[in-house]
Amino acid sequence: MNTPIYPMTANAMPVMTDARFDRGEMVAARPVITHEETPAELDNAAIAAVAEEVLGLAKLSLTAAIAEPEGSLRGTAEGEVAMALHKMPFAQHGGKAEAMQKRAAAMLDADRKAMAPVFGSVVAREAGGLPEGGKVRDVLGAIEGGITRAIDVVDLKITPEQFGVTRPTIDVPIGPGLRLEDGNLVVPRDLLGGTQFEAGGGEFEAALSGIEETEESAIESGVFDLERFEMVWGGTAGADPHPESEFEAVTDKLRLHVLRVRCVDETNPEWWGDDEIALGGVSVDEDGDTKKIAERFVGSGFRDGRSKTVNWPYHMFSLRESYHFPKRFGVSFLLAEKDNGRLSAAIQKLWENVKGAVSSAIAKVAAAAGKAVAAFLAIPAAAPVIAAAISKAVDWVLGRIVDWLIRLFGDDIFPAQTAWITIPSLSARWYHLDGQWGATWSPVLTKRFRGFGGTYDLDYRWQLYG
């Protein structure tokens, strides 16, 4: 007998799993695919701290690029976003482009410390002899080249423990020579074996080198603590928990299909009229790698209640690119008026730069904490989980950037909407509408876009196939 189970999460939403029972005992759990939204807040302290700094740098870079479109950021992703905003139809009416430029310039002329909550630590700290109470524009030299380079000057206050990493330890025998000096425990050399601290060699140095340079010693030394890591990150990665063909034929490819775009509320007629809608995107695989999805024409003449059915096989992922599970994939949809495709392309490029900045920041923290921590971050059980968290952080940063631009310059932008999916096994399936497990097609899912004074829905489905 197959009995579905619906355990409840903290927010009282059912998470569907399925199990087979034999005389009351569970025999095998059936893997079920799950969908999720971009979180309102990032729950990992280290990733959240990195994301906040990258968000501040991105805001600062965008503000500088909008204030000075022909300035030093021209050609960067931030410069392209600013140029696209200046050239959008809404900016060409009623002096909006000039007003946008003046508002950005005023933010650069504001007090640095007062703007620290907006732009982050790069404008808050006193560095390079900058005067007390200086302006935001005094630190613009730090962001030349965009956020990917600017992250190198940020002072990230993140400890290895926030990454779920414990520091390497050394066993010291108890002896009468132990003493405290200036609050530090001093261990006599004879308690550690004579020449272990001799310059240029010794067993202690060899052991320490091993701790720093190998993944195995990261585990053996206690740097990698499975229980602590799962507590901080919410899980680990591993081999497929369900042998192939345990339940039925294996499917090793995942495809997202865009079904239709529907007008819920027509956009502002001042500029929309019968203009054409296009859809671009960015894909994110299980290792955090991103790819640009080419823009496609959807249709024109949208009015309230009207929809356009396209039935596109939009993007495909391989489930065999790496061995680890669960695998998390995402597709970020960028809806735009066809003539404004320049903004869509610029945001795609900005996604890549934000990802580079987040990854660089984490590498910077790991390097500062020592090679043992860097080795830990590459352990197969940890790396995919961290890559997924980075992807989630990038999506979170991009969402906050667009929200900020909307608040700053008006609702003339469609925010990106990202579809996330988690595959726990090659044998994973969805439920059929009748409640039976085993569907290779997801239910129809919807993303809602609000912008330009209007609302549009995009319907899509996921498909597993071999």
The residue among 235 and 313 whose pLDDT is bigger is: 313
pLDDT at 242: 72
What number of other Cβ atoms are within 10 A of residue 68's Cβ?
19
> What pLDDT, in 10s, does the model give residues 251-299?
899 999 999 998 887 666 544 455 578 888 889 898 888 888 988 888 8
Assigned token pair, 123: 């404008």
Predicted TM-score (pTM) of this structure: 0.73
Nearest CA to 254 out of 344, 352, 326 is that of 326
> What pLDDT, in 10s, does the model give residues 322-380?
878 899 999 999 887 665 557 777 888 888 888 888 888 888 777 766 665 666 667 77
State the chain's mean pLDDT as an integer: 74
The residue among 298 and 95 whose pLDDT is bigger is: 298
> What pLDDT, in 10s, does the model give residues 148-207?
777 776 777 777 677 776 665 555 555 556 666 665 656 666 655 544 334 333 443 443
pLDDT at 360: 84
Which one-letter amino acid corresponds to residue 30? R
- Taking 60 as the threshold, does the pLDDT of residue 7 lie above it? no
- Determine contact, residues 427/31, Cβ cutoff 8 Å: yes
CA distances from 248 to 7, 170, 184 (A): 25, 50, 61
β pairing state of 253-265 and 25-30: unpaired
> What pLDDT, in 10s, does the model give residues 22-31?
344 433 467 8
What gap in Å lies between CA 125 and CA 120, rounded to an integer? 9
> What pLDDT, in 10s, does the model give residues 211-224?
344 455 555 555 56
Which residues are paired to 3 by β-bridges?
Answer: 19
In this prediction, residue 382 has a pLDDT band, given cuts at 50, 70 and 90, of confident
| Interval 35-42 mean pLDDT | 78
